[in-house]
């Protein structure tokens, strides 16, 4: 039962270009959506979140967009930097905390 | 910046043995969580803990598992009668609140290997 799905297991982007990571969810009752970044051998690190009552939240190079009618959210990173190379998880909160399967982003110098 | 710490970083245990994974959450946080990630799979929620009791648990968190906050600083996950399929990374997390704008902070995990 996948409440949160990330359909792209990997993404490669040139340094300086935009990275767009996508996430779909099934439960319209989720109230918050979050993006986490994970380096190998480390725990996930919180990046940015968005409330279900908003459609956009921006923090520096990171912007999250929420399309409630499509049950879709995306994370935009611009400009992408080599240090952004990591696995990105979207997550949602209801009674529990659901993670997507992750997208491995590689930013090519 | 305060962080969640987990010990040990790697635990190797014989099948059928009991194992205790330890976590020290961020000191002013009130909510505590355990997750696991089987190799190549997604991070899965196990349990959340608040006010000295379990607030939510997933289907994975059956009678084999228990959590405890024995001394006000440590937060432990006990797995009884370990099975091969319990091999995974186990992440502890803590948060100030439960809202999405009070995100969870994760430790670096304990790799549990069941032989």
Residues of B in contact with A32 (CB under 8 A): 99-101
pLDDT the model gives residue A42: 87
Tell me which residue in A33, A45, A102 faces B100 most closely, judged by beta carbons. Answer: A33
pLDDT the model gives residue B86: 97
Cβ–Cβ under 8 Å, residues A11 and A75: no
pLDDT beyond 70 at A47:
yes
Signed CA dihedral, A65, A94, B22, B81: sign only: negative
Cβ–Cβ under 8 Å, residues B50 and B32: yes
Three-class secondary structure of residue B31 per DSSP:
strand
pLDDT per position as a tens digit, B5-38: 999 999 999 999 999 999 999 999 999 999 999 9
B108 touches chain A (CB under 8 A): yes
- In which residue are the tokens 């994975």 written? B60
Tell me which residue in B42, B98, B105 faces A100 most closely, judged by beta carbons. Answer: B42
B30: left (phi over 0), alpha (psi -120 to 50) or beta: alpha
CA distance B93 to B107: 6
Region A10-25: mean pLDDT is 97
pLDDT beyond 70 at B114:
yes
Three-class secondary structure of residue A34 per DSSP:
strand
Closest-CA residue of chain B to A100: B42
At residue A1 the predicted structure's pLDDT band, cuts being 50, 70 and 90, is: low
Q: How much of chain B, in percent, has pLDDT values that exceed 70?
A: 97
Neighbours of B57 (CB within 10 A): 17
Residue A61 forms beta bridges with which residues? Answer: none
Region A46-58: mean pLDDT is 94
At residue A41 the predicted structure's pLDDT band, cuts being 50, 70 and 90, is: confident
Q: What are phi and psi of A88, to 5 degrees?
A: -110, 130
Region B58-83: mean pLDDT is 93
B56 touches chain A (CB under 8 A): yes
Q: Mean pLDDT, chain A, as a whole number?
A: 92
């Amino acid at each position: 039962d996948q409440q949160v799905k990330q359909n792209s297991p990997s993404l490669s982007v040139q340094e300086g270009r935009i990275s767009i990571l996508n996430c779909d969810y099934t439960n319209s009752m989720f109230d918050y959506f979050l993006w986490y970044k994970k380096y190998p051998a480390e725990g996930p690190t919180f990046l940015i979140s968005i409330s279900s009552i908003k459609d956009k939240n921006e923090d520096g190079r990171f912007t999250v967009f929420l399309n409630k009618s499509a049950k879709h959210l995306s994370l935009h990173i611009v400009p992408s930097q080599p240090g952004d190379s990591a696995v990105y998880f979207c997550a949602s909160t209801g009674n529990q905390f659901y993670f997507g399967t992750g997208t491995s982003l590689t930013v090519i110098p | 910046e305060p962080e969640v710490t987990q010990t040990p970083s790697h635990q190797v245990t014989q099948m059928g043995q009991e194992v205790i994974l330890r976590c020290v959450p961020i000191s002013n946080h009130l909510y505590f969580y355990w997750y696991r990630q089987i190799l190549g799979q997604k991070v899965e929620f196990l349990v959340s803990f608040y006010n000295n009791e379990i607030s939510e648990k997933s289907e994975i968190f059956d009678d084999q598992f228990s959590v405890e906050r024995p001394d006000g600083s440590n937060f432990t996950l006990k797995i009884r009668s370990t099975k091969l399929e319990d091999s995974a990374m186990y992440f502890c997390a803590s948060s100030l609140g439960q809202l999405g704008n009070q995100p969870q902070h994760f430790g670096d995990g304990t790799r549990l290997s069941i032989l």
